[in-house]
Amino acid sequence: MHFSEPVQSRCAILRFHKLTDAQLAHRLEEVCAAENVSYNDEGLNALLFTAQGDMRQALNNLQCTVSAYEFVSAENVLKVCDEPHPELMANMLKLCAEQNIREAAQIIHDFYRMGYSPEDIVANMFRVSKTVSLPEYVKMEFMKEIGLCHMRISEGLSSLLQLSGLVAKLCALETK
């Protein structure tokens, strides 16, 4: 969206910092209590994952989930937000660390066949790689390769081939 110069010159740009998960969780719990919303801890964690530190996004995702399902669970949140499942992604990264390319590639291909874009898959993979239970040096190497793939995808090379190449590269990394 583009604003004309006279309008833009009278506006102030406000930049908000991302909130911590603890801050988001506290406010979401207050909102759920005030609105009598039923939820479980996994649902709250899924809201935190999808919001990425943005309270507006967290509240929108909460409202959409409650409107669609009336109960906030991880499965319901991820369906509403249309995100690749973080547990499956974490499993795929662990398979890569074990150099199990066949099963890791199958998970990525399944995500692609479900209709997730390569951009969404790689962005989700990057977020999950920060918290997956692997040694720190492995996570750092994985994040580096995922970042390079994300750059190629954002430059227009968005295909299943890029994702398959990334999985092959992750499986080939020395993780021992």
pTM surpassing 0.75? yes
**pLDDT surpassing 80 at residue 175:** no
Nearest-angstrom CA–CA distance, 86 and 78: 9
Q: 89-132: per-residue pLDDT in tens?
A: 999 999 999 999 999 999 999 999 999 999 999 999 999 999 99
For 52, the domain range is 21-81
Query: What pLDDT is attached to residue 13?
Result: 76
116 and 65 co-located in one domain: no
Higher pLDDT, 167 or 17: 167
Q: What is the mean pLDDT of the chain?
A: 92
Nearest-angstrom CA–CA distance, 63 and 68: 9
145 and 72 co-located in one domain: no
Domain count, the chain: 2
Nearest to 104 by CA among 155, 39, 14, 175: 175
How many Cβ atoms from other residues are within 10 Å of residue 115's Cβ?
Answer: 8
77 and 150 co-located in one domain: no
Is 13 part of a structural domain of the chain?
A: no
94 and 69 co-located in one domain: no
Report the pLDDT averaged over residues 50-62: 94
Is 6 part of a structural domain of the chain?
A: no
Is 77 part of a structural domain of the chain?
A: yes
Nearest to 64 by CA among 82, 41, 87: 82
SS3 133: coil
104 and 40 co-located in one domain: no
Is 67 part of a structural domain of the chain?
A: yes
114 and 165 co-located in one domain: yes
Is 34 part of a structural domain of the chain?
A: yes
**pLDDT surpassing 90 at residue 87:** yes
Q: 132-173: per-residue pLDDT in tens?
A: 999 999 999 999 999 999 999 999 888 999 999 999 999 998
